[in-house]
Amino acid sequence: MWMKKSESGVGDTSITLESGNTEEEGEECRSSALQDSTLVKLIPSRDSSTMVSSTAQTSRLKYVSLGVLVLQTTSLVLTMRYSRTLKEAGPRYLASSAVMSAEVLKVCACVVLVFIENNWSFRGMKQVLREEIVGKPVETLKLAIPAGIYTLQNNLLYVALSHLDAATYQVTYQLKILTTALFSVFMLGKRLNFHQWFSLLLLMAGITLVQWPTSNQGDSEQKVLSAASQFVGLIAVLVACVSSGFAGVYFEKILKETKQSVWIRNIQLGVFSFVFAFVGMLVYDHQRVKELGMFQGYNTITCIVVVLQALGGLIVAVVIKYADNILKGFAASLSIIMSALISYFLLKDFTPTGLFFFGTVLVIVATFLYGYKRSSGFAVKV
């Protein structure tokens, strides 16, 4: 005879008798169950207060993480745009060098987090890193593919923000929702509801309106140069969206297949990304590095960009843990609005049009609609 006990919540205790040899054993089990139930009922207030406190704390963490994500996203885009258009005496910093520096900083931050997870023990941290990274070469090598793609994506973002204003970039970059959704369907077998597919159509329509050419007054040669520059920026953003969608889904698939810590995975990812970024810097900027060094043109703004880019992935990890899709959509919308306002009033490199405004509204609505969770709905699987 054996007994199976399950507790679904405070004050909710169920007993399942799988088999019994005698009636006395059954009575003994029922008596034990009654005692367990009585014990649970004797302490509901303490557990209830703990649950209320935990719920309130989680709610606060949601909105704190939301605010941090909005601040980080907006600050990164604006400072990156400002740093790529700032006219200073001397050479401009290398985007490949900034990407490499961000990966080094990200790895260091994740190592510190692993150190904290192991109760501030250097020995425990070293053992975990040795077992999970060095001791599992096959698992570590799986991260080489997304690391290379992320490195390409991060370099493309610098190219995009060198040719597009912050507001246009922010709206267009939301196309990664579409690419991520499509890769999730084909690679993970994810099912999308009808309203999610509809939101993706709205997203494409909104981004098309944002990128729709407008008739500008001025010198024809200047207009051609501006159009060419915007085209380069648009291509960079589109390729970045595709690479972001694929790398994100591939990384998610790896995380679901193993039980390794997110920080361990980020260390593995960061090490490979550093290698790819370093090789890319030597290949594409070899002459400039040879003449003036890899940290040429670095200033306070550059350092801020590097820090914001390094911490971005860690902040997103926290948001995913404590926030939901609606809050993430809200964060994206706030970031777009703030970027547009700051670009218009402070950077003065952006003049909104009616098409841009309408397209932005469609993108924001699509972002909310895609993250909206319905209790039931028609699911489509490709």
Q: Give pLDDT tens digits for 356-382.
A: 999 999 999 988 888 776 544 434 333
pLDDT at 262: 78
Distance (Å, rounded) from C-alpha 288 to C-alpha 296? 9
From CA 336, how far away is CA 206, in angstroms rounded? 13
More confident residue, 163 or 333: 163
Q: 309: how many CB neighbours lie within 10 A of its CB?
A: 23
Q: 192-206 pLDDT, tens per residue?
A: 888 889 999 999 999
pLDDT score of 87: 80
- 33-42, 104-113, 183-192: which has the minimum mean pLDDT? 33-42
- pLDDT score recorded for residue 41: 41
At 230-281, the pLDDT tens digits run: 889 999 999 999 998 898 888 878 877 777 777 888 899 899 999 999 999 9
Residue 217: pLDDT band by 50, 70, 90 thresholds? very low
- Mean pLDDT of all residues in the chain? 79
Banded model confidence at residue 37, pLDDT cuts 50, 70, 90:
very low
Between 47-56, 195-204, 338-347, the lowest mean confidence (pLDDT) is in 47-56
Q: Name the DSSP class of 143.
A: T
End-to-end CA distance of the chain: 48
Report pLDDT for 188. Answer: 85
pLDDT at position 323 over 80? no
Stretch 218-228: mean pLDDT: 58
Distances (CA, A) of 137 to 128, 148, 150, 254: 14, 17, 20, 14
How far apart are the C-alpha atoms of 19 and 64, rounded to whole Å?
51
Looking at residue 346, the DSSP 8-state letter turns out to be I
Please report, for residues 1, 14, 39, 129, the alpha-carbon distance to residue 29 in angstroms, rounded to integers and kept in the order given. Answer: 10, 12, 15, 47
pLDDT score of 299: 92
Tokens linked to 346: 């402070």
pLDDT at 177 over 60: yes
Grade residue 332 by pLDDT with cuts at 50, 70 and 90. confident
Query: What was the pLDDT predicted at 295?
Result: 93
Residue 348 has pLDDT above 70, yes or no: yes
Tokens linked to 186: 């084909």
Q: What is the pTM of this model?
A: 0.76
Least confident of 8-12, 121-125, 208-212: 8-12
- Identify the band that residue 66 occupies on the pLDDT scale cut at 50, 70 and 90: confident
